[in-house]
Chain A
Amino acid sequence: MRIEGRAVVYGDNIDTDVIIPGRYLVLQEPSELAKHAMEGLDPSFPEKAREGVIIVAGRNFGCGSSREEAPVALKYANTKCVIAESFARIFYRNAINIGLPILEASLRDKVSEGDFLSVDLLSGVIENKTRGIRVQAKPLPPLAIEIISAGGLTRYVRKKLGLE
């Protein structure tokens, strides 16, 4: 699974309240949520992400609430992948479950906003084509790969229950 896009760079502890503020959780349509993605921190994000972006962040990305709307908003705003030094555990599960690719790697000082990245999700190899740097991400756990390959958790469960 190869993913490409320009980098948008954020810092540590990006919480789910800035990814999608609580007042928008009544919005059910993913495309509606996407209009407010990152609004608490960077209201220009949906515009930046229009052509497809890769978010690069620091530690503890997605900390805070269990709201699945956080990865949903990012995904439908055209985020191709999130690469962070670490993820809060509920966000990590939610992203895999709804099919937002994520990888753990430290790209501090290796990526600037706007750099063109190419990512191989299964091998975890990240290339910064703008700077000609390669970084190996922590490989995804086998179960995460199974869920992603099935097309998300609902399809994975359907398969397990023999419904498809």
Chain B
Amino acid sequence: MRVGRRGIEGLNIVEKILARASGEKEVSPGQIVDAKVDKAMMHDLTGPRVIDSFREIGVKRVWDPERIIVVFDHDVPPSTIKAAELQKKVRNFVREQGIRYFYDIGRGGVCHVVMLEKGHVKPGELIVGADSHTVTYGALGAFATGIGATDMAAVLATGSIWLRVPETLKFEVNGKLQKRVYAKDLILHIIGMIGAEGANYKAMLFSGQTIRDLGIDGRATICNMSIEAGAKAGIIEPDEKTIKYVRERAGEPINPIRSDDDAEFAKVYEIDVSRLEPQVAIPPSVDNVKPVSEVGDIEIQQGFIGTCTNGRLDDLRAAAEILKGRRVKEGVRLVIIPGSQEVYDQALKEGLIEIFIKAGAIICGPGCGPCIGISRGVLADDEVCVSSANRNFVGRMGSPKSKVYLASPATVAASAIKGKITDPREVD
């Protein structure tokens, strides 16, 4: 309990996690805390610069090789000699420091998919990652945030980080999602509502019956994109689904942290999703969101399904439901990238990959693929892609003259069949 603006009140989940991590009884928004990190994650693209800064600090050993996770995903297998050299550098560092959890090419997949499925995330933990989409781990009730390479180097050296305790925005979401409307449509809708910096320096807590009804994959999609509203963290209070998932993947002990009943939030938004349509983010900003019915006639040359946002099993299932027995339209490429080896394996077992191949899609091995505009599906001048990823910035997927529209995997699949942006509810 603490004395807040309205008198004595409890703490919310974000404040409780940061209080625990910093050894304080209680903390309030705006306070700077020196917090102990439970896990730290880096990948092939941010790793090399982390290593350089770590050398500059001059500490010989990382603070705890058991708490560091390294995943190769951004350019895998490497598409250039430079990328191969950088990956070699990170591999050598992993060996030198005895880092316990290393997911090399063919062993893991997209870092934010791997972190959840390999049991590196538990409720109540403080996790930092040298990647902005680290916020994904809030899906399991952890406070997770993205940091830059030098911040990560300091974490590797000391095991701690300074953080400003954020204000928390609460999104109370109720109502049943219509058929072929997904977590992705909901989070796009929320970002459209509050804007690209609507949650800058703040945390976003997602709650309500709609969120409780979502599986872990959908919850990951929601938390993943909280950064696109500028959030420091996206988080969902752990429930029985969380505990079951974590028990199967990470094992005991599990010490979930939840908001006090009388916790305070900077603002509460109430959202009813029962009439929500599939949503599309129009380039060049993620908050330029419209219902698919208002997008107009947009011809596409490429569709892309995958990434840390929508490369999980539920996403591939949703796409397969639409692609089954149909063909990608002539003149359109559909790139599908399972989020991890595990997702790939399961998709094979369920016959999803066969459906994709018969539809004329190309399947690439687990990784970030064209989302960051490095390889495996970058765009030429004036090309248009509808993507299940998270960013539609100028040049994100290749040429600065190309365009990226963001939507759910189902909307991408429907669009690939029709050759233009299409409401997945129209394909039946």
Give the B-binding residues of A (Cβ under 8 A): 13, 15, 17-18, 21-23, 25-28, 39-41, 59-60, 63-69, 86, 88-90, 93-94, 97-98, 141, 143, 152-154, 157-158, 160-161, 163
Contacts and interface: CB of A to CB of B under 8 A. Distances in A.
28 contacts: A15-B393, A17-B373, A17-B391, A18-B393, A18-B395, A18-B400, A25-B45, A26-B82, A28-B48, A28-B49, A63-B197, A63-B230, A64-B132, A64-B393, A65-B131, A66-B46, A66-B131, A66-B146, A69-B49, A90-B147, A93-B147, A94-B150, A98-B148, A98-B150, A153-B154, A154-B53, A160-B158, A161-B158
A88 B230 contact: yes
B364 interface: no
A157 B57 CA distance: 7
B148 A163 contact: no
B168 to A, nearest CB: 15
A90 to B, nearest CB: 6
Interface in B278-297: 285
B110 interface: no
B68 to A, nearest CB: 17
B1 interface: no
A26 B80 contact: yes
Contact of B395 (A21, A28, A89, A163): A21
B362 interface: no
B322 interface: no
B148 A68 contact: yes
Interface in B59-96: 59, 75, 80, 82-83, 86
A40 B402 CA distance: 11
B374 interface: yes
Contact of A93 (B46, B151, B158, B396): B151
B245 interface: no
Contact of A161 (B153, B157, B232, B285): B157
A143 B32 contact: yes
Contacts of A160: 158
B224 to A, nearest CB: 13
